[in-house]
Structure formats: structure tokens, C-alpha cells
Amino acid sequence: MDKANQHIILKTQNLSIGYKSNKNDIVIASNIHIELHKGELIGLAGANGIGKSTLLRTLTNVQSGLNGKIFINNILLSDYTSGELAKTMSLVLTEPIASKNLSVFELVALGRHPYTNWVGNLSTEDIDIINQSLELTNIETLKHKKCFELSDGQLQKVLIARALAQDTDLIILDEPTTHLDMYHKAYILKLLQKLVKETHKTILFSSHEIDLAIQLCDKMIVMTEDDVVSDSPCNLISKGVFNTLFPEDLIVFDKHTGSFRVKK
């Protein structure tokens, strides 16, 4: 790997996540060491309720960690002002956007918010970046459509374009493939892989599409009851991490196909 690829975008040190309460903290996962490099596509996998969302919420500064440190571009996450952080990290969330009356262009343009003036006027540079984002996600034709006219798959692409327009080193997506059919699940994840290759951004997403993630990701973070492991998909398979992902009474991981099979 060349030097640029070694640049660390996000690093956690001895991080433990959970919820603070008056008496004793509720720890969801602890001792998390993650390193995300520039130009990597990273999938976050884990069973329902294992703490994927809590981890993402902690990494995006929505809630604070219980212990340990998070560095983004070698600066402590807690030292960022909200404006600086908005220029470093963009999000695609699972919640629906509040107003579906926005046109696609308007919605993507809101990604330029951290860079525009007090009333939000777009410069020609802003418009160029918005058009590039629309182009990269293949939605130029939808430009003037309203969001309520879009299918779930199209809307997801628009939200990804918005995150791209925010022009950040790191994009974090929370379950971008829910509500989508099999084709569009693959389409969205493939799109993320393309974006990583073409823009050299770092993209982290959580997903339940483990077989697709194994095929497309450079690295995966797997959360199990006992541990949070991050490594390349191949190494994770040979370590047998995926076998511990779910209770083994119903489905088992097949090493050769890289997917889960229902027990006969």
C-alpha cells in the first residue's frame, strides 16, 4: 500500500460505548480499537441490538462515549466545533427527511450548508460541486423532481449525493440498504464502493447485508457479544468471526461461499 492509503481518518483508543445513568453506566461494548484509513470502504455488521447504532452515534458525536478516545484526522472528536465537524464528516441517517417537498437539487444543495454565507446563497463553486455529486450518483435526470416523487432506492441515492456535496473526508451511513429490494441493495453498496475508488473518501456503513459486505468492503467491523473485531473480510472469515455473529441454532456461516445458510 502507498503512503496516502495509510493516512488514518478515524481512530478509536480503548473506546467503550453505552449510556450514562445516575447510578452505574450501562456499557454496551468496551475496549474498541478501530482504525479507518483514507479511501477505505468499511462495513459494520452485527446482530440486532448489539450496539451498531450506539457505536455510530458515538462516532458521530450524537452521544458521548463512556471511556476512551476518538480521533478524527488526529484531532480529538470532542475538540471539534460543530462547524468544523460538518466539514469533516457527513451522515446518511435512517430517519426520513422532514420535508419531502424539497426538490432533489435543493436537498443536495443543503449539503453545502457549512460553506455558504448567512443566508445560504450558492456560489458557482458550490453549484459545480452539487452537479458533480449528482453525476457521481447517477441522478442528474432526477435533478428537478420533488422528493415525494422518488422511490426508496432513488431517495437513498439523493441522500448519498447530499453527503457527497458536503465534501467531507468521512461519510457515515446508518443502514443505507433497509427498505430496498435485492437489486438496489447491491446497487447502493456497489455505488459506495465506486465512490470510494473515485473520490478516495472513507465510507463507513452499517448493514445487515453481510454477504454483500464481504464481497465489496475493504474492511469490516464485526460486533459480537464479547468483542468488536475489525479486519479485512478474508481474515475475518479465516478467523471464524462470522460464526460467532449469531446464535448457531438456525443459521450457520459457510466459509466457502461467504454467506449464511439455514440449517436443514
Partner 1 sequence: MLKTNTYTFSFIALITLLFICFFVNISLGSVSIPNQAILKSFIGTLDHESWQYIIQNYRLPKAITAILVGSGLGISGLLMQTLFRNPLAGPFVLGISSGASLGVALVILGSGIFGGVFATLLVLKWTVVIAASLGSFLVLLAVLLVSSKVRDTMAILIIGLMFGSITAAVVSVLSYFSSAEQLQQYIFWGFGSLGNLSWNEVFIFFIIYCLGLLLSIISIKGLNTLLLGENYAKSLGLNIKQSRFIIIIATSLLAGTITAFAGPIAFIGLAIPHITRQVFNTSNHKILLPAVFLFGAIIMLICDSIAQLPTSDYTLPINAITSLIGAPVVIWLLVRKRKMIF
Q: Which positions touch partner 1 (CB under 8 A)?
A: 60, 62, 82-87, 89-91, 93, 95-102, 105-107, 109-111, 113-114, 116, 118-120, 122, 127, 166
**CB closer to partner 1, 137 vs 168:** 168
Query: Shortest distance, CB of residue 203 to partner 1, whole angstroms?
Result: 15
| Minimum CB distance to partner 1, residue 169 (Å) | 14
- Considering the complex, state which of residue 57 and residue 194 has its C-beta at the smaller distance from partner 1: 57
Task: Identify which of 179, 202, 164, 161 has the alpha carbon closest to the alpha carbon of residue 59.
Answer: 202
Neighbours of 252 (CB within 10 A): 14
Q: How many Å apart are CA 68 and CA 58, to the nearest integer?
A: 11
Q: How far is the CB of 10 from partner 1 (least distance, A)?
A: 15
Residue 61: CB minimum distance to partner 1, A: 9
CA distance 94 to 180: 12
C-alpha distances out from residue 202 to 143, 172, 219, 242, Å: 26, 9, 11, 24
Q: Please, what is the minimum distance in Å from the beta carbon of residue 4 to partner 1?
A: 26
Q: Are 24 and 36 in contact (CB under 8 A)?
A: no
Q: What is the DSSP letter of 146?
A: B
Q: Which is nearer to partner 1, 24 or 82 (CB)?
A: 82
What is the rounded CA–CA span in Å between residue 134 and residue 104?
A: 9
Indicate the residue among 51 and 111 with the shorter CB distance to partner 1. Answer: 111
- Closest to 191 in 3D by CA, of 235, 159, 150: 159
To partner 1, the closest distance from the beta carbon of 91 in angstroms equals 4
Which residue lies nearer to partner 1 by CB, 45 or 171?
171
Long-range contacts from 154-157, C-beta under 8 angstroms, 24+ separation: 156/92, 156/180, 156/184, 156/188, 157/188, 157/191
Name which of 99 and 151 has its Cβ closer to partner 1.
99
**Angle at CA of residue 65, ends 177 and 51, nearest 5°:** 35
Amino acid identity, position 161: A
The residue among 1 and 98 lying less far from partner 1, judged by its C-beta, is 98
Q: How far is the CB of 198 from partner 1 (least distance, A)?
A: 23
